[in-house]
Amino acid sequence: MPKKTRAHEQSVIDQLNDDDYAIAYLNAAIDEANEADDPRGILLALRRIAEAKGIGMTKLAKATEVNRQGMYKILSEQGNPEFLTLFMLFKALGLSFQVKKFEQHSQ
């Protein structure tokens, strides 16, 4: 898989300023995580949304009651946030959870 360019990354971040695009982007990351049984893409999507909205790690840390270093770790590939922290992170980004039935794809 080719590496993404810095211009591509910036383009994605620019588009994430639009709330509808950010929601669709996060939902796509959640769908991919469900298919791959790997939630790390969700954390990357949340980090990109925060960056696009100009919400720094310090502000996210305060909103989630996690220290700044902890927030960097949570939103890294090795991140493993507790549910309450994830809930508060969504809220700090102006997002909420919604549950839908998981549809397994036949292989």
- pLDDT tens string, the chain, 107 residues long: the values are 556 678 887 888 889 999 999 999 999 999 999 999 998 999 999 999 999 999 999 999 999 999 999 999 999 989 999 999 999 999 999 999 888 887 776 55
Contact 64, 88 (CB under 8 A): yes
- Return the residue matching tokens 């009651």: 65
In a domain? residue 48: yes
In a domain? residue 58: yes
Contact 84, 91 (CB under 8 A): no
Structural domain that includes position 21: 8-92
CA distance 72 to 86: 13
In a domain? residue 40: yes
In a domain? residue 103: no
Domain count, the chain: 1
In a domain? residue 17: yes
Global pTM?
0.82
Nearest to 38 by CA among 27, 47, 29, 46: 29
